[in-house]
Amino acid sequence: MRPLLLLPLLLCARLQPSVALVVEFEHDGSVSVSEDSTREAARSAPAHRLSASTASKQYRDTAYAVGLRHAGGPGPRAAGLAATEFADLFVALIDQESRFDPRAVSSKGAQGLGQLMPDTARLLGVSDPFNPSENLDGAARYFTAQLARFGDVRLALAAYNAGPHRVEEYGGVPPFRETLAYVATITAAVDRAPAGAALTRPAPEAASAARGVSTNPEMQRNGVWDFN
Question: Which are the catalytic amino acids?
Answer: 97
Type and span of the H or E element at 59? helix 52-70
Instruction: Using alpha carbons, select from 16, 147, 179 the residue that is nearest to residue 170.
Output: 179
Amino acid (1-letter code) at residue 33: V
Number of other residues whose CB lies within 10 A of the CB of residue 146: 25
CA gyration radius, the chain:
23
How far is the CA of 21 from the CAs of 14, 36, 153, in angstroms?
19, 7, 48
DSSP designation for 100 = T
